[in-house]
Structure 1
Amino acid sequence: MTIDADFLFARLPAFYAERDAALGGPLRALLDIIATQGDLVEQDIARLYDNWFIETCDDWLIPYIGDLLGVRGLYAVSGTHTFGQRALVANTLRLRRRKGTVPVLEELAFDCTGWRARAVEFFQLMGTTQYANHTRLHNLRTPDIRNALPLERIDGPFDSAAHSAEVRPLSAGRYNLPNIGLYLWRLQAYALQRIAAPVATGAAGRYYFDALRYSPAETATVAQGQLYNRPQTEDTVTQLAQPINVPEPLSRRVLHAELTALRQALADGQTLTRNYFDPDQPVLRIWRDGVEIAPEWLVVCDLALLSKASSGDPDDWQRPPAQLTVTRADGSTQQFPDAAAVAAGHYAVGFDPVLGRVALPSGKSASSIEVSYAYGFAGDVGAGPYDRRPLVGEDDATLGLLSPSDFDVVWQVPGDHASLTAALAALATGTRTLIYLHADHTEALTPHLDLPDTWLAIEADNGRRPVLYGDWVLKGNASTHLTLSGVLLDGALHIDGPLDQIDLRRCTLVPARGGITHTGSSGSNVQITLNACICGSIQANKALGGVSASYSIIDGIGKVALNLPDTALSLDRCSVFGSTAATQLAAGNSLFTDTLNILRKQDGCVRFCYIPLGSQTPSRYRCQPDLVKQGLANGPALVESIRVTPAFTSTTYGHAAYAQLQLTTASEIRTGAEDGAEMGVWNLLQQPQREANLSQALDEYLRFGLEAGVIYVN
């Protein structure tokens, strides 16, 4: 019900309305004020009713409802859409009813951490002498070496082979009577809807999945694969997680087995239960010249470079056959694609989920290849197909989406213009223009923009990741403002002369392409701001108004990351790969892999950061390795400094675990930020808090005598 002045007037005698109209409406004005306040009271009453229920209550009430239920493990975790405490509190009673069962431990781990989990009873996998009256036929001491798929799973979360007993404690040792392992997947799968696959150089008919032509090393293992599974939710709480339920890299062998079974089932006229190629959520879709390739026409290949001995062209890849032959149960054969499809111009297409490549049969070509797949990454930083709306209660509005009401002109691409190139060509200076990009499309452009008195904003649709190829050059005056939101730029951004502001929100400027540079004979008051971005080096030859970054990765490829003469630099929760030079610095909760050289050491402050030895910085507060060296002689101090040096899983952009700290990194770094989380960009994941929540909650749900240990898969 909506309370307004008309609602209240309708409940008064008619002569009051007539008298009020004759007097100019003073009563209506009073009732309008009363109605406004009454509507607020009505909304508050409705809100109070919603707050009785965990599904609809405000976030601040979740710990209070959890306290009524005696829920353990409610450390505040913020910074990501993918996880909150609501599920843990909502599922408490359901989990307690099934206390002591393995599926409950999986559900508990997922609710406490937000990471997909697999619980394994290690005592079930111990190789023991079995009692004749209680045989366990699934527990075979010697694996079947003819069955390659289980062999691929050995020592992983889905291992089915028997093992000798280990007496070491979890998680160094696993296979013992009291041990239960909780495998957690920290990397998440990010699904791209339909993107153009870039052509590989050299022989025709070869493509990459990744828009930047990134491919793991030729010797990549499944654990380093390019394509990730889109996890499906288990049907019931009693179901143990299977590979289809977790965001693991896709294996050639697993996909080959399902596609082979699919072709066999179609040839025999049977129905196959699909997992990875379920029609509702396939892990991979490929379009050739706008026509989707049927799953039964896809061939799993190892598309590593061929050796000179096997091919005249050593830079070529393996090529799939144009048709696949399947023998039916009655001995006859069937072709995929069949003769009618071949006559229509169709043929089989090969792909490699580990190396992220697509290959057409020899002699075949296509005008375009498009793919839909998921890639792995640690969190919502940089351009990506995730929800970019601000979190509930988030103070920093610059991390959210742009408001169309702030602009004079709003264009849609495609829609108002066919491409971004056309939109930029039609751009009128002196206006505030917002351009929306509505697809995961790619476009090559190298614009030279001269935008005096102009605010240009380019924003990707929420959940989309458009890729723009080429270097950008931007000129203007002291009123020029550029905003990029959710865009992946495979190029550098060159700023020429004085501008007002450069604002990057959840964007990626590929580090190897050059990052952001400022040139020009005159100084500039330009403010450069990065929020949740991945960017190459930022360099200037003149003083800037200021550079600030939060929740960002600034990657100078091991060389210069930040070179800002006569410029104030502000960093919060950032990972900086390369050296840093600036006039003034204020930094917090950040990681620096190379030395800092800050001119004004009397201004600013560095708090809760890792600062390499030999750096010149302002005053430091609770930084490493300063803390671990206190009171030690030179020799032990050097040993401690080496011990707390951050170690990363990968510092190569494109790797799924880019900028992620290794688990062997010292706890002083992994829990060294002011909120108890790790230093650097992945502070936003609040990983120590998630681990603590799970550790507190486990004791309540474990059977007596059992011990659980957390094992990170990636």
Structure 2
Amino acid sequence: MSANPDRLYDLMPVVYRMRDAEQGYPLRDFLRVLSTQANVLEQDITRLYNNWFIETCDDWVVPYIGDLLGYGLLPEAATLADSGAHAARLGRVLAPRADVANTIDARRRKGTLSLLEDLARDAAGWPARAVEFYRLLGWMQHLDHQHPHRGGTADLRDPGTLQRIGWANGAFDPFAHSVDVRRMSSHHRRGRYGIPDLGLFVFRLRSYPVTVTPAYCLEERGPHCFTFSVLGNDTPLFQRPVAESVPTHIAQEINLPVPLRRYRFAERGADADYASVSAALYGEDKSVLIYAPDWPSKGQGMPVPREALMPADLSGWRYQVPRGRLAVDPERGRMMFPANQRPKGGIWVSYCYGFAADMGGGEYARITPELEHATRYIVHTALPGNDPAKNPLPAGHYASIADALKAWAQAKAADATLRSLIIELAESGVYEGSIDLQLDAGEAIQLRAAERTRPVLRLLDVRASQPDALSVGGGAGSRLLLDGLLVVGRGIEVHGPVGDDSTTELQQDLCELVIRHCTLVPGWALHCDCDPKRPGEPSITLDSTRASLRIEQSIVGAISVISPPQRGEPPTLQVCDSIVDATGVERVALGSPDEAVAYVEASLRRCTVIGEIQAHSIRLAEDSIFTSVVRVLRRQSGCVRFCYVPPGSRTPQRFHCQPDLALAAATTDAARAQETLRVVPQFRSLRYTAPHYARLDDGCCEEIRSGASDESAMGVYHDLYEPQREANLVWRLEEYVPAETDAGILYAS
């Protein structure tokens, strides 16, 4: 198909085109209409052809192809709507394209152990490890048929192997066990170690890379102490999974997104050396890589050689590091140099961290809408052995955000028609400074991360007597968009116009602030133990402005609203697929410092809110979890549906919310009190930077884990559709496991 609108006109003889030009091109305009319709017809024909194949067909065709193959669908698939983005996402979970495509191959391999791992990946999108528990039973071996590597007693002199007993819920347990007569499929208490039992350990956490980013020096501990996290907190390092070489291979630790253990981080093999780092985990395109220019001597440290590293337990920051060596604690994400041999040229690291979803700032693929007719500037930061401030940069490239904004001001002064600017941060480094933006009327600025990067915007405390923040203001129709950033040090402050004149306010006020795929660190910054340094400070302050705020797939701290002098209708606040964390359930996640409620009309969809909500009105709250009470001033409008709202909340009309439904089914006061305690969200962790941050615990009640409008989980991880993935995988296991085998799903992460 050609995009040329004159492709039919170009086929006409030259004589007709000459005559058409003499008459003002009526023939060309007519053929352009025909070309448009021809393009539509060609697109439809191409689409029909692509729908014949599972690799290229539309999502709605996948269940039909599966039906031709006898692929069984869950009953929920029949109730999906024909339109809507979330219905399409759920459809891709209930009818996975890869699982349908591999149906014939799976039937041929039915009964093999490696097939179960492929089913978990294709049907649920989870990497997995399959284990036959009868191979781990203790039994008397015949002397003529010995299996020396099967089972066995524990070697108390090998702490690395002993760690694997409970590691990842026992997925890598190598020891022999006595028989367990309980069935794997028991609804009361599961058994594991029986002859017919087979376990499929699934790993729901993902491993996200961070590439060449500065390490953080903990000066309070010493100039030789560093953390991998640029925020200065402990973070467990994760394995970068290595693809399995053959389909029959059973997944090992190196093939799965698991945290790194000290004993596995050490050199393994017949000549195991626990003072050296494994070559399979350290190096280019591997799990860990460290750059220390000019360390331990001039011209070295790009990267630090593997022979200079040694695994260590740095839990107390007490370790005697030999000269010329670097101690690394992968379980806490810490590094320690010799006290008398500190690095002078900075430290950069590449590593992986664990998280559950594509949310907040990260090096994952994301769709970033482009501003139309925008000028594009690229900003660089220091990398190992290269400082852009000391080297000449090509046109359109700058060494700091301040330089790019200065160039934009000069460009606008030279050309008054310029209205859109894109500032792209090119590397996953740290961009420091203080930013004060004042947008003109109709101006739009997008501050975004480059593809597959995670830039860190560190707002410094440079004015002792004044507050420091990313300060934003603007004229009518102006917009600021933040995409893919991690903001630390301070918050974002949106200030309104000065004066009480309502006309002036409408003409000199920012129109919209959009935050997408960003992390505004709750509490501004973190201590080494992950506690927030400023837990009472908001991440976003709307100061006397009527600007609307939209937050998508982000992690932010508290939101503070200072009402404008001229009120009118409240400005809108839209939060979807995000976490609003006030650093504690007793603090205020959305409120006002000088009034009872924040003067905004809020909409929250698929969110987890840690802290109280104090708002003027809520237009819509859907599939969300509120960990603390919600207080709304205006209850006559709006709706709260399929949410968990704590008792004692004041909200608009509620529909299918918890614990309301559970309390309505209780008949006595004692039963209602019991239901109130039972139907409460239970989280794995509410501490930012934890791999299981804001994730529901597996022991959480079903009313929360599958209480959303489409029977997925409430809260920010709604779109993972974990209940549907689990049900789909159980359905497949029943079809493909060997006869008389009792298979079950075990969560390793």
Do the two structures share a fold, i.e. TM-score over 0.5?
Answer: yes
Question: Aligned residue for 1:420?
Answer: 401
User: CA 1:148 to 1:262, structure 2 compared with 1: closer, same or farther past 3 Å?
Assistant: closer
Q: Which of 262, 271, 281 in structure 2 is aligned with 1:276?
A: 281
**Distance in 1, Cα, partners of 2:67 & 2:91:** 23
SS at match of 1:99: coil
SS at match of 1:292: coil
Counterpart AA for 1:551: D
What is the CA-CA distance between 1:228 and the residue it aligns to? 0.3
Question: Aligned residue for 1:352?
Answer: 329
Question: Aligned residue for 1:320?
Answer: 321
Question: Aligned residue for 2:267?
Answer: 257
Question: Aligned residue for 1:344?
Answer: none
User: CA 1:264 to 1:178, structure 2 compared with 1: closer, same or farther past 3 Å?
Assistant: closer
What is the CA-CA distance between 1:663 and the residue it aligns to? 0.2
Alignment TM-score, normalising by the size of structure 2: 0.82
**Distance in 2, Cα, partners of 1:681 & 1:247:** 22
Counterpart AA for 1:45: I
Q: Which of 721, 726, 731 in structure 2 is aligned with 1:686?
A: 721
Question: Aligned residue for 1:388?
Answer: 366
Matched, 1:157 2:135: no
Question: Aligned residue for 1:537?
Answer: 558
Q: Which of 440, 457, 460 in structure 2 is aligned with 1:468?
A: 457
In the alignment, is the contact (CA less than 8 A) between 1:575 and 1:590 conserved in 2?
yes
Question: Aligned residue for 2:124?
Answer: 113
Q: Which of 337, 341, 349 in structure 2 is aligned with 1:364?
A: 341
Aligned CA-pair RMSD: 2.8
SS at match of 2:662: helix
Alignment of 1:518-537 (within 5 A): 518=541, 520=543, 523-537=544-558
**Distance in 2, Cα, partners of 1:207 & 1:83:** 45
SS at match of 2:674: helix
Q: Which of 417, 422, 446 in structure 2 is aligned with 1:434?
A: 422
What is the CA-CA distance between 1:355 and the residue it aligns to? 0.9
In the alignment, is the contact (CA less than 8 A) between 2:659 and 2:679 conserved in 1?
yes
SS at match of 1:194: strand
Matched, 1:602 2:636: yes
Q: Which moved more, 1:695-704 or 1:47-56?
A: 47-56
What is the CA-CA distance between 1:601 and the residue it aligns to? 1.5
User: CA 1:602 to 1:368, structure 2 compared with 1: closer, same or farther past 3 Å?
Assistant: same
Counterpart AA for 1:162: A
**Distance in 1, Cα, partners of 2:668 & 2:636:** 27
Counterpart AA for 1:188: R
Matched, 1:207 2:226: yes
In the alignment, is the contact (CA less than 8 A) between 1:287 and 1:369 conserved in 2?
yes
Matched, 1:455 2:444: yes
In the alignment, is the contact (CA less than 8 A) between 2:640 and 2:652 conserved in 1?
yes
Q: Which of 434, 445, 462 in structure 1 is aligned with 2:433?
A: 445
In the alignment, is the contact (CA less than 8 A) between 2:481 and 2:515 conserved in 1?
yes
**Distance in 1, Cα, partners of 2:487 & 2:18:** 65
In the alignment, is the contact (CA less than 8 A) between 2:495 and 2:545 conserved in 1?
no
**Distance in 1, Cα, partners of 2:265 & 2:613:** 46
**Distance in 2, Cα, partners of 1:317 & 1:566:** 51
User: CA 1:477 to 1:317, structure 2 compared with 1: closer, same or farther past 3 Å?
Assistant: farther
User: CA 1:575 to 1:412, structure 2 compared with 1: closer, same or farther past 3 Å?
Assistant: same
Q: Which moved more, 1:371-380 or 1:282-291?
A: 282-291
In structure 1, stretches of 5+ residues that fail to align are 217-225, 267-271, 306-315, 323-346, 390-400
**Distance in 2, Cα, partners of 1:35 & 1:165:** 74
Question: Aligned residue for 1:494?
Answer: 493
Q: Which moved more, 1:77-86 or 1:507-516?
A: 77-86
What is the CA-CA distance between 1:214 and the residue it aligns to? 1.3
Counterpart AA for 1:320: V
**Distance in 2, Cα, partners of 1:363 & 1:552:** 45
Q: Which of 284, 288, 293 in structure 1 is aligned with 2:292?
A: 288
Work out which structure has the larger RCO, using CA pairs closer than 8 Å and 6 or more positions apart in sequence: 1
Alignment TM-score, normalising by the size of structure 1: 0.86
What is the CA-CA distance between 1:81 and the residue it aligns to? 11
**Distance in 1, Cα, partners of 2:651 & 2:118:** 46
Q: Which moved more, 1:635-644 or 1:134-143?
A: 134-143
Q: Deviations over 1:569-599 (max 9, x none)?
A: 1100000001111111120100011111111
**Distance in 2, Cα, partners of 1:152 & 1:591:** 36
In the alignment, is the contact (CA less than 8 A) between 1:591 and 1:610 conserved in 2?
yes
Question: Aligned residue for 1:581?
Answer: 614
Q: Deviations over 1:446-476 (max 9, x none)?
A: 2233334342220001221111112322233
Q: Deviations over 1:241-290 (max 9, x none)?
A: 01111000001101112499698999xxxxx995324x563111100127
- Give the number of equivalent residue pairs: 651
**Distance in 1, Cα, partners of 2:9 & 2:426:** 47
Question: Aligned residue for 1:392?
Answer: none
User: CA 1:250 to 1:81, structure 2 compared with 1: closer, same or farther past 3 Å?
Assistant: farther
What is the CA-CA distance between 1:211 and the residue it aligns to? 0.9
Q: Which moved more, 1:120-129 or 1:167-176?
A: 167-176
**Distance in 2, Cα, partners of 1:19 & 1:528:** 57
Q: Deviations over 1:678-697 (max 9, x none)?
A: 00000011111111110111
**Distance in 2, Cα, partners of 1:301 & 1:365:** 18
Q: Deviations over 1:165-221 (max 9, x none)?
A: 2223337321111111110111100001110001112322211100111115xxxxx
In the alignment, is the contact (CA less than 8 A) between 1:4 and 1:32 conserved in 2?
no
**Distance in 1, Cα, partners of 2:446 & 2:21:** 49
Q: Which moved more, 1:668-677 or 1:152-161?
A: 152-161
Counterpart AA for 1:369: I
Q: Which of 206, 209, 214 in structure 2 is aligned with 1:191?
A: 209
Counterpart AA for 1:190: Y
SS at match of 2:339: coil
User: CA 1:282 to 1:82, structure 2 compared with 1: closer, same or farther past 3 Å?
Assistant: farther
Question: Aligned residue for 1:175?
Answer: 193
Alignment of 1:499-648 (within 5 A): 499-513=510-524, 514-518=537-541, 520=543, 523-542=544-563, 545-558=571-584, 559-563=587-591, 564-585=597-618, 586-631=620-665, 632-648=667-683
Question: Aligned residue for 1:46?
Answer: 46
User: CA 1:84 to 1:232, structure 2 compared with 1: closer, same or farther past 3 Å?
Assistant: farther
SS at match of 1:690: helix
In structure 2, stretches of 5+ residues that fail to align are 78-86, 294-300, 381-395, 413-417, 460-468, 498-509, 525-536, 565-569, 592-596
SS at match of 2:165: coil
User: CA 1:548 to 1:21, structure 2 compared with 1: closer, same or farther past 3 Å?
Assistant: closer
**Distance in 1, Cα, partners of 2:686 & 2:341:** 38
Counterpart AA for 1:354: E
Matched, 1:237 2:214: no
Q: Which moved more, 1:158-167 or 1:467-476?
A: 467-476
What is the CA-CA distance between 1:482 and the residue it aligns to? 1.8
User: CA 1:371 to 1:273, structure 2 compared with 1: closer, same or farther past 3 Å?
Assistant: closer
What is the CA-CA distance between 1:89 and the residue it aligns to? 1.4
User: CA 1:14 to 1:487, structure 2 compared with 1: closer, same or farther past 3 Å?
Assistant: closer
**Distance in 2, Cα, partners of 1:14 & 1:567:** 64
In the alignment, is the contact (CA less than 8 A) between 1:497 and 1:518 conserved in 2?
no
**Distance in 2, Cα, partners of 1:611 & 1:406:** 45
**Distance in 2, Cα, partners of 1:481 & 1:508:** 19
What is the CA-CA distance between 1:124 and the residue it aligns to? 1.0
User: CA 1:133 to 1:73, structure 2 compared with 1: closer, same or farther past 3 Å?
Assistant: farther
Counterpart AA for 1:545: P
Question: Aligned residue for 1:411?
Answer: 377
User: CA 1:83 to 1:506, structure 2 compared with 1: closer, same or farther past 3 Å?
Assistant: farther
Question: Aligned residue for 2:532?
Answer: none
Counterpart AA for 1:363: N
What is the CA-CA distance between 1:20 and the residue it aligns to? 4.6
Alignment of 1:215-226 (within 5 A): 215=234, 226=236
What is the CA-CA distance between 1:149 and the residue it aligns to? 2.8
In the alignment, is the contact (CA less than 8 A) between 1:259 and 1:296 conserved in 2?
no
